[in-house]
Amino acid sequence: MTGLIRDSGNLDVNSHYAHLLLCHHFHGTCIAAERGSDFIGFVSAYRPPEDPGVLFVWQIAVASSARGAGVAGGMLDQLVRRASGGRVHFVEATITATNTASIRLFTSFSRRLGVAITHRRLFPAELFHGVEQHESEDLYRMGPLPSTFSERNGVS
Ligand SMILES: CC(C)(COP(=O)(O)OP(=O)(O)OC[C@H]1O[C@@H](n2cnc3c(N)ncnc32)[C@H](O)[C@@H]1OP(=O)(O)O)[C@@H](O)C(=O)NCCC(=O)NCCS
Protein backbone atom coordinates (compact mmCIF):
# COMPACT_ATOMS: atom_id res chain seq x y z
CA MET A 1 0.00 0.00 0.00
CA THR A 2 2.75 2.40 0.93
CA GLY A 3 4.46 1.71 -2.40
CA LEU A 4 1.24 2.15 -4.38
CA ILE A 5 0.51 5.47 -2.69
CA ARG A 6 4.09 6.64 -3.20
CA ASP A 7 4.08 5.63 -6.88
CA SER A 8 0.72 7.34 -7.50
CA GLY A 9 2.65 10.58 -7.70
CA ASN A 10 0.22 12.96 -6.08
CA LEU A 11 -0.89 11.52 -2.75
CA ASP A 12 0.62 12.24 0.66
CA VAL A 13 2.79 9.27 1.64
CA ASN A 14 2.05 7.79 5.03
CA SER A 15 4.16 5.34 7.00
CA HIS A 16 3.78 1.56 6.85
CA TYR A 17 2.61 1.79 10.45
CA ALA A 18 -0.15 4.26 9.53
CA HIS A 19 -1.40 1.82 6.89
CA LEU A 20 -1.29 -1.09 9.32
CA LEU A 21 -3.36 0.93 11.78
CA LEU A 22 -5.85 1.88 9.05
CA CYS A 23 -6.35 -1.73 8.02
CA HIS A 24 -6.52 -2.93 11.61
CA HIS A 25 -8.97 -0.37 13.00
CA PHE A 26 -10.92 0.42 9.82
CA HIS A 27 -10.84 -2.89 7.92
CA GLY A 28 -14.58 -2.60 7.18
CA THR A 29 -13.99 0.61 5.25
CA CYS A 30 -10.71 -0.12 3.46
CA ILE A 31 -10.44 -2.17 0.27
CA ALA A 32 -7.51 -3.60 -1.66
CA ALA A 33 -7.84 -4.65 -5.32
CA GLU A 34 -5.77 -7.47 -6.80
CA ARG A 35 -5.28 -8.75 -10.33
CA GLY A 36 -3.79 -12.20 -10.13
CA SER A 37 -1.01 -11.84 -7.60
CA ASP A 38 -0.58 -8.10 -8.31
CA PHE A 39 -1.76 -5.50 -5.87
CA ILE A 40 -3.37 -2.88 -8.14
CA GLY A 41 -5.56 -0.66 -5.99
CA PHE A 42 -6.29 0.59 -2.53
CA VAL A 43 -8.91 2.80 -0.93
CA SER A 44 -8.92 3.86 2.71
CA ALA A 45 -11.97 5.36 4.36
CA TYR A 46 -13.59 5.77 7.75
CA ARG A 47 -16.75 7.08 9.42
CA PRO A 48 -15.84 10.14 11.52
CA PRO A 49 -16.82 9.37 15.16
CA GLU A 50 -18.70 12.66 15.51
CA ASP A 51 -20.47 12.29 12.17
CA PRO A 52 -20.97 8.55 11.58
CA GLY A 53 -23.49 9.14 8.79
CA VAL A 54 -20.55 10.21 6.63
CA LEU A 55 -18.12 7.86 4.92
CA PHE A 56 -14.92 9.86 4.44
CA VAL A 57 -12.70 8.50 1.67
CA TRP A 58 -9.16 9.34 2.69
CA GLN A 59 -6.99 7.96 -0.11
CA ILE A 60 -7.69 6.06 -3.30
CA ALA A 61 -5.03 4.92 -5.72
CA VAL A 62 -4.80 2.55 -8.68
CA ALA A 63 -1.52 1.32 -10.20
CA SER A 64 -0.77 3.22 -13.41
CA SER A 65 -0.89 -0.05 -15.42
CA ALA A 66 -4.49 -0.67 -14.29
CA ARG A 67 -5.99 2.80 -14.66
CA GLY A 68 -8.94 3.69 -16.86
CA ALA A 69 -10.59 0.28 -16.47
CA GLY A 70 -13.07 1.06 -13.71
CA VAL A 71 -10.99 -0.27 -10.79
CA ALA A 72 -11.34 2.88 -8.66
CA GLY A 73 -15.04 3.25 -9.44
CA GLY A 74 -15.59 -0.40 -8.55
CA MET A 75 -13.78 -0.02 -5.22
CA LEU A 76 -15.93 3.03 -4.34
CA ASP A 77 -19.15 1.17 -5.19
CA GLN A 78 -18.09 -1.81 -3.13
CA LEU A 79 -17.01 0.39 -0.23
CA VAL A 80 -20.35 2.15 -0.01
CA ARG A 81 -22.28 -1.08 -0.44
CA ARG A 82 -20.40 -2.61 2.52
CA ALA A 83 -20.68 0.46 4.73
CA SER A 84 -24.29 1.38 3.97
CA GLY A 85 -27.20 -0.63 5.37
CA GLY A 86 -28.87 2.67 6.23
CA ARG A 87 -25.91 3.92 8.28
CA VAL A 88 -24.11 6.04 5.72
CA HIS A 89 -25.91 8.97 4.11
CA PHE A 90 -23.08 10.96 2.57
CA VAL A 91 -19.69 10.17 1.03
CA GLU A 92 -16.97 12.80 1.35
CA ALA A 93 -13.43 13.17 0.01
CA THR A 94 -10.95 15.99 -0.34
CA ILE A 95 -9.49 16.68 -3.78
CA THR A 96 -7.13 19.32 -5.13
CA ALA A 97 -8.39 21.50 -7.97
CA THR A 98 -5.85 20.13 -10.48
CA ASN A 99 -6.63 16.43 -9.88
CA THR A 100 -8.90 15.95 -12.88
CA ALA A 101 -8.90 12.14 -12.67
CA SER A 102 -10.10 12.21 -9.07
CA ILE A 103 -12.75 14.86 -9.72
CA ARG A 104 -14.00 12.78 -12.65
CA LEU A 105 -13.96 9.61 -10.50
CA PHE A 106 -16.21 11.10 -7.81
CA THR A 107 -18.42 12.94 -10.32
CA SER A 108 -18.96 9.67 -12.15
CA PHE A 109 -19.64 7.89 -8.84
CA SER A 110 -22.34 10.42 -7.84
CA ARG A 111 -23.88 10.24 -11.31
CA ARG A 112 -24.06 6.43 -11.04
CA LEU A 113 -25.87 6.75 -7.72
CA GLY A 114 -28.06 9.61 -8.96
CA VAL A 115 -27.05 11.87 -6.04
CA ALA A 116 -25.89 15.47 -5.79
CA ILE A 117 -22.21 16.42 -5.56
CA THR A 118 -21.07 19.70 -4.03
CA HIS A 119 -17.69 21.07 -3.02
CA ARG A 120 -16.17 23.80 -0.87
CA ARG A 121 -12.69 24.74 0.30
CA LEU A 122 -11.73 22.73 3.42
CA PHE A 123 -7.96 23.02 3.91
CA PRO A 124 -6.37 26.08 2.25
CA ALA A 125 -2.80 25.62 1.03
CA GLU A 126 -1.34 27.76 3.83
CA LEU A 127 -2.36 25.12 6.40
CA PHE A 128 0.21 22.72 4.91
CA HIS A 129 3.13 24.44 6.61
CA GLY A 130 6.47 23.22 5.40
CA VAL A 131 5.01 20.90 2.76
CA GLU A 132 6.45 21.89 -0.58
CA GLN A 133 3.82 23.13 -3.05
CA HIS A 134 0.82 21.48 -1.39
CA GLU A 135 -2.38 22.65 -3.04
CA SER A 136 -5.58 23.54 -1.18
CA GLU A 137 -7.86 20.58 -0.50
CA ASP A 138 -11.54 20.96 -1.43
CA LEU A 139 -14.18 18.88 0.36
CA TYR A 140 -16.47 17.02 -2.06
CA ARG A 141 -19.73 15.80 -0.58
CA MET A 142 -22.00 13.30 -2.33
CA GLY A 143 -25.49 12.34 -1.24
CA PRO A 144 -27.83 11.76 0.35
CA LEU A 145 -27.38 8.14 -0.67
CA PRO A 146 -30.49 6.23 -1.70
CA SER A 147 -31.60 3.90 1.08
CA THR A 148 -31.89 1.10 -1.49
CA PHE A 149 -28.28 1.50 -2.64
CA SER A 150 -27.15 -1.95 -1.63
CA GLU A 151 -30.09 -3.62 -3.39
CA ARG A 152 -29.72 -1.60 -6.59
CA ASN A 153 -25.98 -2.08 -6.95
CA GLY A 154 -24.89 -5.66 -7.12
CA VAL A 155 -21.19 -4.75 -7.18
CA SER A 156 -18.83 -7.44 -6.08
C1 LIG B 1 -7.85 8.80 -9.54
C2 LIG B 1 -7.60 7.32 -9.80
C3 LIG B 1 -7.75 6.55 -8.47
C4 LIG B 1 -8.67 6.79 -10.81
O5 LIG B 1 -8.50 5.38 -10.94
P6 LIG B 1 -9.09 4.57 -12.21
O7 LIG B 1 -9.22 3.14 -11.82
O8 LIG B 1 -8.28 4.88 -13.42
O9 LIG B 1 -10.55 5.24 -12.39
P10 LIG B 1 -11.80 4.59 -13.15
O11 LIG B 1 -11.29 3.79 -14.32
O12 LIG B 1 -12.68 3.89 -12.18
O13 LIG B 1 -12.53 5.89 -13.75
C14 LIG B 1 -13.55 6.59 -13.03
C15 LIG B 1 -13.99 7.78 -13.87
O16 LIG B 1 -12.92 8.78 -13.92
C17 LIG B 1 -12.55 9.05 -15.26
N18 LIG B 1 -11.08 9.18 -15.28
C19 LIG B 1 -10.16 8.34 -14.74
N20 LIG B 1 -8.93 8.79 -14.97
C21 LIG B 1 -9.07 9.95 -15.67
C22 LIG B 1 -8.14 10.90 -16.18
N23 LIG B 1 -6.81 10.74 -16.04
N24 LIG B 1 -8.63 11.99 -16.81
C25 LIG B 1 -9.96 12.18 -16.96
N26 LIG B 1 -10.89 11.30 -16.48
C27 LIG B 1 -10.45 10.20 -15.86
C28 LIG B 1 -13.00 7.84 -16.04
O29 LIG B 1 -13.23 8.17 -17.40
C30 LIG B 1 -14.29 7.47 -15.32
O31 LIG B 1 -15.32 8.35 -15.72
P32 LIG B 1 -16.65 7.79 -16.45
O33 LIG B 1 -17.24 6.79 -15.49
O34 LIG B 1 -17.48 9.01 -16.65
O35 LIG B 1 -16.18 7.16 -17.71
C36 LIG B 1 -6.19 7.06 -10.42
O37 LIG B 1 -6.02 7.93 -11.53
C38 LIG B 1 -5.05 7.31 -9.43
O39 LIG B 1 -4.63 6.40 -8.71
N40 LIG B 1 -4.51 8.54 -9.39
C41 LIG B 1 -3.40 8.89 -8.49
C42 LIG B 1 -3.86 8.97 -7.04
C43 LIG B 1 -4.96 10.01 -6.84
O44 LIG B 1 -4.88 11.13 -7.33
N45 LIG B 1 -6.00 9.61 -6.05
C46 LIG B 1 -7.14 10.47 -5.73
C47 LIG B 1 -6.82 11.40 -4.61
S48 LIG B 1 -8.28 12.21 -3.97
Mean pLDDT by 10 residues, the chain (156 residues): 90 92 93 95 95 96 97 96 83 97 98 97 93 91 80 42
pLDDT at 54: 96
* pLDDT computed for residue 51 by the predictor: 95
Q: Please report the atom of ligand 1 found closest to the CA of residue 109.
A: 33
Cα 73 to ligand 1 centroid, rounded to whole Å: 8
Ligand 1: residue of 1, 67, 110, 113 to mutate (most ligand atoms within 8 A of CB) is 67
Whether 13 is in the pocket of ligand 1, judged by its Cβ within 6 Å, is no
Distant-in-sequence, close-in-space partners of 115: CB < 8 Å, separation ≥ 6 = 142, 143, 144, 145, 146
Its pTM stands at 0.93
Q: Which domains does the chain have, with CATH numbers?
A: 2-152 (3.40.630.30)
- Predicted local confidence at residue 106, as pLDDT: 98
CB-side exposure of 144: number of CA atoms within 13 Å?
7
pLDDT recorded at residue 102: 98
